[in-house]
Structure 1
Amino acid sequence: MKKYSCETHIDHALDMLVAETEEFPIMEKIFEEEKLSTKCSYCEECATYIVSSK
């Protein structure tokens, strides 16, 4: 499972991933060149982080 998140929604993305998978989340910062096309899973802002499980 993978979710994309902006700065505003990172706490929500982490909470949702833990609730859905019951696993410790992995949070990775998105590189500048990938930000252009990647949108947050919760709004229309550019994503800053990828939150995933193993």
Structure 2
Amino acid sequence: MDTASNPIVKVSENQTEITFNAANLTAATTYYFKVVVKDVNGGVTIGQVWPFKTQ
């Protein structure tokens, strides 16, 4: 998750929960995130980039 449209900052790893609560976000800022999934066989799937804006 990052403020750059090609996010590179890793905010979670080995997550098993279905939600993630981001802390310390700046108001009136657009953030971008993507999900990268890795399986036990070494396969990797990179999801598309999604934006959201804080109020």
Q: Which has the higher contact order (CA 8 A, sep 6+)?
A: 1
When you count helix as a share of all residues, which structure comes out higher?
A: 1
Larger Rg: 2
Give yes or no for TM over 0.5: no
TM-score by length of 1: 0.32
TM-score by length of 2: 0.32
